[in-house]
Amino acid sequence: MISFKATLYSTVLLGAATLTAPVMAATFVAADSLPGTQACMAVASNKRLTLLRTMKDLRIDKHVISKKLLCNDLSVGDFVTLYDLNKSARFLNIEASTSTSIRDLAKANKPLVVIMAGSK
């Protein structure tokens, strides 16, 4: 009986932890292997180190990414705001916290696959 209670409690705790864990709202898939798409995928990774390595490999700087790159026909500022890529925005010195929007929370928790295409 004790093992049954222990199993029941651990199942309830694991289930509660799973429900409260954050869910990645979008999965990004590269449409091609062009340099613009590679840069957009690095921004979408939301990881400073990945973005830094990609910038070094492509020999581009922050100014080119933040001012001239288009990801899915959006400026990088609009792109990082749309997908909540706060770490990439902070690294690129893009102010992403000044906009106000209303979000459907039920829609935000559903996985979304985004096909990425960068500037040509």
How many Cβ atoms sit within 10 Å of the Cβ of residue 11? 10
Q: What does the pLDDT look like over 57-76, one tens digit per residue?
A: 999 999 999 999 999 999 99
Host H or E run for residue 30: strand 26-30
Give the global pTM: 0.66
DSSP symbol at 98? S
Instruction: Give the residue with greater pLDDT, 20 vs 78.
Output: 78
Pairing of strands 26-30, 112-116: parallel
- Model confidence over 3-54: pLDDT tens digits? 545 444 444 444 444 433 344 468 999 999 999 999 999 999 999 999 999 9
